[in-house]
Chain A
Amino acid sequence: MTDLKPKDFASTLDVRWCPGCGDYAVLKSLQKILSDTGAKLEDTLCVSGIGCSSRLPYYMATYGFHSIHGRAPAVATGAKLANPELDVWVFTGDGDGLSIGGNHLMHALRRNLDMQIVLFNNQIYGLTKGQFSPTSQKGLRTPSSPGGSVDTPLNPVRFAIGAGAKFIARSVDTQAKVLGPVLQAARTFEGTAFVDVLQNCVIFNDGVFDKLKDKKQGPDHTLFVEHGQPLVFGVDRNKGIRIKAGGFSLEVVSLEEGGLSEADLIVHDETNHALAGALAELGGNAGEPTVLGILFREEAPEFGAESRIGLPAKPLSMNEKLTRLSATLRKAETWDVGEDEQ
């Protein structure tokens, strides 16, 4: 088979997201990295739940399963356990993955089955027309919260850390330079890779991430982390993160003041659970950057491989199975009723 181009991963269906939707950018990044990594159409499976994000499998020329609300991780788990050769992707949203499907997401993350879960986080319910979601900011006025939402928002990355995920990343929908490599790393990771994609809903929650995406000022509000690199950010790359003296938290410092240099900053260690948790929290207060990139990555036993321990080394033939079943049935006490007893 010849190498596939990004457009070869697109199905013939017209994409029907709203013009300007952030989902287009994620779809494009996905198709590009699949092409770049030499993925095969027949070995790629996209599974989704319900919502705008979950339409994605229809736009891919791979195998796809548009399942039911919140359950994509469970469907994907069954498919991957049945056929470990498949490259399985789950596409979900903040409502699908964190609200109705929160339980499945939690358990998928802790199990560490080899698949990628990409959560399109637009902080709103799109397909049902604009109600607040589990990640909506407090006070957001929507049709179901006309006085402003009083729900405390959930931080998907913190959720993933709490669930014990072994690969946790965050990206912005339109920043292909961050999203592409993150998706590629997620695909390579042997376990469940979770990617929180901050994605713009152009209709119901337009502009919530504009500050982060701004071409000029964006670098002041985002910090791209790389393993082994100091935590530096800013338009002029003159700000950094260090451990707050006398405390157990992080603080933003200026490299131009007080004689601080990069040597005073934290060096990103993607295997450090506590650091990932602290980084995930940043961005909530004025002056703090929202952290992008791979916040946490740690090799761990893969659920599929562990689940297969004890299976026959190679698939049994029908006859072998029936023979073994016959033997198993006879592990209980058996007795013969002979002809003479008729």
Chain B
Amino acid sequence: MQNGLERGAANRELPVSQQPEVDYVRVRFAGDSGDGIQMTGTRLAEAAARFGNDIATFPDFPADIRAPSGTIYGVSAYSLNIGHAEVDTFGDEADALVALNPAAVRKYLEGVKQNGLLILDRDAFTERALTKAGFISNPLEDGSLSNFRVLPLEITSNTEKALRETGLSAKDAKRCKNMWTLGLVLWLFERSTTDVEHWVEQKFHQKPELAKANILALQAGHLYAEVNELPSGIERYNIQPAPLMEGEYRSINGNEGLAYGLYAGATLADLELFYGSYPITPASPLLHTVAKLKELGALSFQAEDEIAAVCAAIGASYAGHLGVTGSSGPGIALKTEAIGLAIMTELPLVVVNVQRGGPSTGLPTKTEQSDLFQAIWGRNGDAPLPVIAPAHPGECFDIGVEAAKLATKHMTPLMVLSDGYIANASAPWKLPDFSDPAYQPFPVKKASEPTGFLPFDHDPETMARPWAVPGTAELMHRIGGLEKQAGSGDISYDGENHQLMTQIRAQKLEAIANSIPVQHVETGEATGKLALVGWGSSWGPIRVAARRAQLEGRSVSHIHLRHLWPLPPNLEELLSGFDRIIIPEMNNGQLATVLRSQMPLCFESVTCVKGRPFLVREIAKIIDDVLGA
């Protein structure tokens, strides 16, 4: 997959985004959990992507399923960055906030830039709602919004008015206010409502009266903006298509990308996919996506717990499928012993950790990348396994394919470290062309020849042992968690043999290190004053900040690690070419600690564990602090 990954990086060489509201616009929808905010945001994202813009999204929803309406903790939000230039993050601050109730204003006003646009539903600012949101006076009247351009509209009553003829109940009509709002926002972006109408028709094809109502509301919002003169100072946004590489696109989030990629990987390995899982936020959509691939031959199994999920995946791998299990930090902790079993039995297994805030139950709906130690070192015994991480949603598919390839080629469990941000964020994604050499099949050759068969014999190049699956005549053998005699695989308590087997397990990682692509510079020169080393979803903010600094001629390079363990063999040499190496990561300095343990270079750590990705300005500050503003 090295071709695919490198090509993936090249794919993203769009112009650097510099001017907000010119190169890109950051808009945030916020409202009550029941207001349809996620749907509204997704629709605008799809419309922008279809138009040809680069987009980056960030859904931010409460952990509660149905929080009491009107409360601050019940606010759901969807942030979206729409660009003509490259957008890799949802943005440090919003250019526009669309808030459907006072609680949404209360929660997200702080994230709106000075003189930013506020579109508010005036109807929702009742005394009761204001009190619930903790306002002492009405912000629409007390002057507290004077730093913003405020556009208060009667969204609810306008929606009701538009739907008066449909015969819909007042309650149902009210629920269409998000579509009215979307119509208005589409107008603001100079987009028509056609695509969304088409989507509504499909979505509600069994409830034509609802389809009709939603479309009416959408058109009414659009028309309202068209015929009513907007107050001075409020301009429409003109964001032209981004010069994306030609091809067929769709938008994809990280969980979908990974699920499809794992299926593709299993397929290219000429194996069936088995996905064993137990529901957990934010990894559950992986299970949902694989479950829908049944007609393509993928078998998913919702187990009784995390341990059973991984054990079933191991059993499926033993029987000849590609076993995969996915979870998040606490679930991975439960799977730990079984992952050790997969290491000991040298079976292919992919473990996906969609990281969230920890420790323990932590912050289930918030993102973090603090399970790196757990992935690399979190097992009893000397128990090495490879760890790889996607940088953004668009890369998850290829990471899934690579995971399948490494696990089967080297007969090893492998961990993929995704995170809550990558999992839920979406971006335009160029659909894969399976005739591309990047997707060349890597069919697994299972053992079938009895002569000289030794279940724990190792290929000197890949350090893989033969994969002899039950059902194969004359290759019967026993495997298990006890130490095995090298070669025969019989139980062995011999010290010399244990030393040898420990080395073999370590050599497996060395073999992987020799087969992964060399570490390249993501953006910038191969040597210089400052290297920003990132992994996982800190990719976006580091990339944006680094590219802007490079345009100003500053000596900063972004190096991004997909292969976290084993590390690319040329990493030390590459990093030696920089005066300072700083590692921004969403944990308390884990990658910095790992790298310090591996190479005698000076690594500085900058951390952020606030349940959200770094802001671009936080990375820009690192650059300023080192190179001067």
Interface residues, chain A, with chain B CB atoms under 8 Å away? 11, 13, 41-43, 45, 47, 50, 57-58, 60-68, 71, 73-83, 85-86, 103-104, 106-107, 307-308, 310-312, 315-316, 318, 321-322, 324-326, 328-330, 332-339, 341-342
Question: B478 touching A77 by the CB < 8 A rule?
Answer: no
- Shortest C-beta distance, B444 to chain A (Å), equals 12
Question: B470 touching A316 by the CB < 8 A rule?
Answer: no
Knowing that A65-B315, A330-B431 touch, tell me 13 more A-B residue pairs with CB under 8 angstroms.
A13-B490, A61-B476, A65-B345, A71-B308, A77-B301, A83-B319, A83-B320, A312-B295, A321-B297, A325-B264, A335-B52, A341-B243, A342-B243
Task: Assess A333 versus B297: contact at CB under 8 Å? Given A68-B481, A75-B312, A83-B470.
Answer: no
Question: B249 touching A336 by the CB < 8 A rule?
Answer: yes
Interface residues, chain B, with chain A CB atoms under 8 Å away? 46, 49-50, 52, 195, 199, 241, 243-252, 260, 263-264, 267-268, 270, 272, 274, 276, 292-297, 299, 301, 303-305, 307-309, 311-321, 323, 337-338, 341, 345, 431-432, 434, 441, 443, 469-482, 490-491
Question: A residues within 8 A CB of B263?
Answer: 321, 325
- Interface pairs A-B: 10 shortest CB-CB: A78-B315, A66-B480, A78-B312, A74-B311, A64-B478, A82-B319, A74-B308, A79-B315, A63-B470, A78-B316
Our pick among B297, B315, B482 for the contact of A75 (Cβ within 8 Å) is B315
- Shortest C-beta distance, A254 to chain B (Å), equals 46
Question: A residues within 8 A CB of B319?
Answer: 45, 78-80, 82-83, 86
14 contacts between A and B (CB under 8 A): A45-B319, A47-B315, A62-B476, A64-B476, A67-B480, A71-B308, A78-B313, A81-B301, A81-B316, A107-B304, A311-B297, A312-B295, A322-B264, A325-B260
- Shortest C-beta distance, B325 to chain A (Å), equals 10
Question: B341 touching A67 by the CB < 8 A rule?
Answer: yes
- Shortest C-beta distance, B274 to chain A (Å), equals 6
Our pick among A41, A63, A71, A78 for the contact of B323 (Cβ within 8 Å) is A78
Question: B46 touching A333 by the CB < 8 A rule?
Answer: yes
Question: Please, which residue of chain B has its CB at the minimum distance from the CB of A42?
Answer: B473
Please report the C-alpha to C-alpha distance between residue A330 and residue B195 in the assembled complex, in whole angstroms: 16
Please report the C-alpha to C-alpha distance between residue A16 and residue B299 in the assembled complex, in whole angstroms: 39
Question: A316 touching B296 by the CB < 8 A rule?
Answer: yes
Question: Please, which residue of chain A has its CB at the minimum distance from the CB of B269?
Answer: A318
Question: B297 touching A329 by the CB < 8 A rule?
Answer: no
Question: Please, which residue of chain A has its CB at the minimum distance from the CB of B268?
Answer: A318
Question: A74 touching B297 by the CB < 8 A rule?
Answer: no
Q: Is the interface of B mostly helix, strand, loop or mixed?
A: mixed
Question: A43 touching B470 by the CB < 8 A rule?
Answer: yes
Task: Assess A334 versus B243: contact at CB under 8 Å? Given A45-B470, A82-B315, A86-B319.
Answer: no
Please report the C-alpha to C-alpha distance between residue A106 and residue B447 in the assembled complex, in whole angstroms: 35
Our pick among A43, A61, A71, A82 for the contact of B321 (Cβ within 8 Å) is A82
Question: A82 touching B299 by the CB < 8 A rule?
Answer: yes
Task: Assess A307 versus B243: contact at CB under 8 Å? Given A78-B323, A82-B321, A325-B263.
Answer: no
Question: A71 touching B307 by the CB < 8 A rule?
Answer: yes
Question: A residues within 8 A CB of B270?
Answer: 318
Question: A342 touching B307 by the CB < 8 A rule?
Answer: no
Question: B residues within 8 A CB of A62?
Answer: 476
Question: B residues within 8 A CB of A64?
Answer: 476-480
Question: A65 touching B274 by the CB < 8 A rule?
Answer: no
- Shortest C-beta distance, B485 to chain A (Å), equals 12
Question: A103 touching B305 by the CB < 8 A rule?
Answer: yes
Please report the C-alpha to C-alpha distance between residue A329 and residue B257 in the assembled complex, in whole angstroms: 10
- Shortest C-beta distance, B392 to chain A (Å), equals 18
Question: B294 touching A311 by the CB < 8 A rule?
Answer: yes
Question: A residues within 8 A CB of B52?
Answer: 335, 337, 341
Question: A residues within 8 A CB of B296?
Answer: 312, 316, 321, 324-325, 328
- Shortest C-beta distance, B416 to chain A (Å), equals 19
Question: A63 touching B243 by the CB < 8 A rule?
Answer: no
Question: B residues within 8 A CB of A321?
Answer: 263, 267, 296-297
Question: A65 touching B308 by the CB < 8 A rule?
Answer: no
Question: B490 touching A104 by the CB < 8 A rule?
Answer: no
Please report the C-alpha to C-alpha distance between residue A212 and residue B52 in the assembled complex, in whole angstroms: 79
Question: A82 touching B477 by the CB < 8 A rule?
Answer: no
Our pick among B246, B272, B320, B482 for the contact of A66 (Cβ within 8 Å) is B482
Our pick among A315, A322, A334 for the contact of B248 (Cβ within 8 Å) is A334
Question: A43 touching B471 by the CB < 8 A rule?
Answer: yes
Task: Assess A307 versus B301: contact at CB under 8 Å? Given A71-B308, A79-B315, A324-B295.
Answer: yes
Please report the C-alpha to C-alpha distance between residue A50 and residue B247 in the assembled complex, in whole angstroms: 54
Question: B residues within 8 A CB of A60?
Answer: 478
Question: B residues within 8 A CB of A61?
Answer: 476
Our pick among A80, A103, A324, A335 for the contact of B249 (Cβ within 8 Å) is A335
Our pick among B49, B272, B469, B479 for the contact of A335 (Cβ within 8 Å) is B49
- Shortest C-beta distance, B195 to chain A (Å), equals 8
Question: A residues within 8 A CB of B434?
Answer: 322, 326
- Shortest C-beta distance, A43 to chain B (Å), equals 6
- Shortest C-beta distance, A323 to chain B (Å), equals 9
Question: B478 touching A57 by the CB < 8 A rule?
Answer: yes
Question: A residues within 8 A CB of B341?
Answer: 67-68
Question: A residues within 8 A CB of B276?
Answer: 78
Task: Assess A81 versus B246: contact at CB under 8 Å? Given A13-B490, A318-B267.
Answer: no
Task: Assess A74 versus B479: contact at CB under 8 Å? Given A334-B248, A336-B249, A341-B52.
Answer: no
Please report the C-alpha to C-alpha distance between residue A71 and residue B317 in the assembled complex, in whole angstroms: 15
Question: A residues within 8 A CB of B247?
Answer: 336-337
Our pick among B241, B307, B470 for the contact of A341 (Cβ within 8 Å) is B241
Question: B residues within 8 A CB of A13?
Answer: 490-491
Question: B476 touching A82 by the CB < 8 A rule?
Answer: no
Our pick among A11, A82, A333 for the contact of B478 (Cβ within 8 Å) is A11
- Shortest C-beta distance, A99 to chain B (Å), equals 14
Question: B residues within 8 A CB of A77?
Answer: 301, 303, 308, 311-312, 315
Question: A86 touching B251 by the CB < 8 A rule?
Answer: no
Please report the C-alpha to C-alpha distance between residue A16 and residue B286 in the assembled complex, in whole angstroms: 44
Question: Please, which residue of chain A has its CB at the minimum distance from the CB of B199?
Answer: A333
Question: B residues within 8 A CB of A75?
Answer: 311-312, 314-315, 318
- Shortest C-beta distance, B315 to chain A (Å), equals 3
Question: B50 touching A310 by the CB < 8 A rule?
Answer: no
Please report the C-alpha to C-alpha distance between residue A221 and residue B277 in the assembled complex, in whole angstroms: 46
- Shortest C-beta distance, B90 to chain A (Å), equals 20
Task: Assess A333 versus B246: contact at CB under 8 Å? Given A79-B315, A82-B320, A83-B319.
Answer: no
- Shortest C-beta distance, B465 to chain A (Å), equals 15
Question: B480 touching A65 by the CB < 8 A rule?
Answer: yes
Task: Assess A104 versus B297: contact at CB under 8 Å? Given A58-B491, A335-B52.
Answer: no
Please report the C-alpha to C-alpha distance between residue A63 and residue B476 in the assembled complex, in whole angstroms: 5
Question: A residues within 8 A CB of B482?
Answer: 66
Please report the C-alpha to C-alpha distance between residue A311 and residue B250 in the assembled complex, in whole angstroms: 26
Question: A104 touching B316 by the CB < 8 A rule?
Answer: no
Please report the C-alpha to C-alpha distance between residue A47 and residue B470 in the assembled complex, in whole angstroms: 12
Question: B residues within 8 A CB of A68?
Answer: 311, 337-338, 341, 481
Question: A71 touching B470 by the CB < 8 A rule?
Answer: no
Task: Assess A325 versus B476: contact at CB under 8 Å? Given A77-B301, A79-B316, A341-B52.
Answer: no
- Shortest C-beta distance, A288 to chain B (Å), equals 34
Please report the C-alpha to C-alpha distance between residue A318 and residue B263 in the assembled complex, in whole angstroms: 11
Our pick among B246, B475, B481 for the contact of A42 (Cβ within 8 Å) is B475
Question: B299 touching A307 by the CB < 8 A rule?
Answer: yes
Question: A333 touching B250 by the CB < 8 A rule?
Answer: yes
Please report the C-alpha to C-alpha distance between residue A336 and residue B49 in the assembled complex, in whole angstroms: 10
Question: A42 touching B50 by the CB < 8 A rule?
Answer: no
Question: Please, which residue of chain A has its CB at the minimum distance from the CB of B273?
Answer: A321
Please report the C-alpha to C-alpha distance between residue A81 and residue B199 in the assembled complex, in whole angstroms: 38
Question: A86 touching B471 by the CB < 8 A rule?
Answer: yes
Question: A residues within 8 A CB of B490?
Answer: 13
For B296, B301, B474, the residue with the greatest tally of chain A CB atoms inside 10 Å of its CB is B296
Question: Please, which residue of chain B has its CB at the minimum distance from the CB of A322?
Answer: B434
Our pick among B246, B251, B268, B338 for the contact of A332 (Cβ within 8 Å) is B251
Question: Please, which residue of chain A has its CB at the minimum distance from the CB of B474?
Answer: A42
- Shortest C-beta distance, A326 to chain B (Å), equals 7
Question: B residues within 8 A CB of A329?
Answer: 250, 260, 431-432
